[in-house]
Amino acid sequence: MHMIVTNKKGLSQAWVSAVRNDQYERAGDYSVTQLISPAQLQILLERHRDKVVMDVQEGLWILLGKSVHYILEQSHTRGALTEHTLLFNIGNFQVSGTPDRLERIDDPEEKAAMSFLRSISPDRDWPERVRQYHLRDFKITSIYAIKEGPKDDWVRQTNCYGFMLRQQGIAVTRLSIETLLKDWRMSEYMKERNGRGYPDAQAQVLDVPVWNDAKCYEYLEQRVNLFESSKMLPDDKLPRCSHEERWAKPDRFAAVYHSKGTTVAARGGGNFDSQMDAEAFIAGYTGKKQLHVEFRPGESVRCEGYCPVKHWCRQYREEICGDEF
Ligand code: SF4
């Protein structure tokens, strides 16, 4: 069952076919990418996929992500495994996962130390080295997404893959995310490099904390149980998406002034958690501008801009749009 793809900008049919041509077929009962996503969203998508309308331009970034994955998959290198689908049973259900790339970790220091020890004491039964592996996942994303390190979803996803590989006897001891930041600009970096932690390059490698196997199993089991119990429920009784799952931004307050018909935040005064903090900033302000507090309402970024099933979502109607839906 496919979504309905529209072409509002009149792009060539090549784009439309490429976006429509989704070759992905899930192996097993659940995929890891499905399980890390909100249960409500995934179940509504299963039920209403053939009615979901997506314009072709919304699918272009997904297409870019797929093409980068495809190119990297083709670049075979020794000692690496790419895009291999794994299966693991959680109770009666089969979970699949396809990590982007698995590489052997070559530790030259350890290698040198072992040959030194063997050379000075060849009769001793030195243990064989345990081969260790590094799992890498590739993400085409934005600077905002990596502001606080790897996203929680990526941590969960790579840990599930690492766990599934360890169940096959492959000792995955390192996980990382390699990002291509599509909105990175050299000019912005030059402007901000002394200040606000703007990334120093378009590509970044983010190390992911490695969970132990018990934590990975518990996470997968809890997600499968949630999906299984939710599948019995009607649309309007599905478990609600959390704050984190909705990519919700909280309400903010800013100390602003008017200039040439627009509102501008004072330097250092654009982002406060509370009205009181913004007022305290204004009280201590020594500049010449006439400042006042502006309320900036929070938003559920995923619901508003990225959720394909919001039209069938009761939570969206009730909590996010109110009467405007
Ligand atoms: S619209 Fe928001 S609350 Fe509803 S399923 Fe989508 S992400 Fe979840």
Predicted pLDDT of residue 197:
77
**Terminal Cα distance for the chain, rounded:** 27
And the tokens for 91?
């109770």
What is the percent of the chain where pLDDT is above 70? 93
Which sequence spans correspond to the domains of the chain? 58-234, 251-297
Report d(CA 201, CA 70) in Å as an integer: 23
The mean per-residue pLDDT over the stretch 176-196 comes to 85
Q: Are 293 and 275 in contact (CB under 8 A)?
A: yes
Tell which atom from ligand 1 comes closest to the C-alpha of 246: 7
Q: Which segments of 51-194 does DSSP mark as H helices, in order?
A: 60-74, 108-120, 152-166, 186-192
Q: Where are the beta strands (DSSP E) in the chain?
A: 4-6, 30-31, 53-55, 80-82, 86-90, 93-97, 101-105, 132-141, 172-181, 203-208, 248-249, 252-259, 262-265, 292-296, 299-300
The mean per-residue pLDDT over the stretch 210-229 comes to 97
More confident residue, 48 or 117: 48
The mean per-residue pLDDT over the stretch 7-31 comes to 86
Contacts for 109 with CB less than 8 Å, ≥ 6 apart: none
Tell which atom from ligand 1 comes closest to the C-alpha of 313: 4
The mean per-residue pLDDT over the stretch 103-118 comes to 74
307 lines ligand 1 (CB under 6 A): yes
And the tokens for 32?
């890891």
Residue 245: band (very low, low, confident or very high) from pLDDT cuts 50, 70, 90: very high
And the tokens for 223?
């997600």
Give the largest CA-CA distance in the chain. Answer: 85
pLDDT at 1 over 70: no
Average pLDDT, the chain: 88
The mean per-residue pLDDT over the stretch 102-108 comes to 81
pLDDT at 297 over 90: no
Report d(CA 233, CA 227) in Å as an integer: 10
The Å distance, Cα 47 to ligand 1 centre, comes to: 14
The Å distance, Cα 26 to ligand 1 centre, comes to: 22
The Å distance, Cα 307 to ligand 1 centre, comes to: 6
Per-residue burial over 222-246, b = 16 or more CB atoms within 10 Å of its CB, e = otherwise = ebbeebbeeeeeeeeebbebeeebb
In a 13 Å sphere around the CA of 110, the CA atoms on its Cβ side amount to: 10
pLDDT at 212 over 60: yes
Q: Are 294 and 316 in contact (CB under 8 A)?
A: no
pLDDT at 152 over 70: yes
Tell which atom from ligand 1 comes closest to the C-alpha of 44: 5
Which range is most confident: 126-130, 146-150, 287-291? 146-150
Residue among 61, 34, 24, 84 nearest 180 (CA): 61
Residue 218: band (very low, low, confident or very high) from pLDDT cuts 50, 70, 90: very high
Tell which atom from ligand 1 comes closest to the C-alpha of 310: 1
Report d(CA 313, CA 325) in Å as an integer: 11
309 lines ligand 1 (CB under 6 A): yes
Residue 110: band (very low, low, confident or very high) from pLDDT cuts 50, 70, 90: low
More confident residue, 43 or 65: 43
pTM assigned to the model? 0.83
Domain 58-234 part of CATH 3.40.50: no
pLDDT at 323 over 60: no
Q: Which segments of 98-185 does DSSP mark as H helices, in order?
A: 108-120, 152-166
Pocket test for ligand 1, best of 236, 238, 302, 318 (most atoms within 8 A of CB): 302
Report d(CA 192, CA 307) in Å as an integer: 32
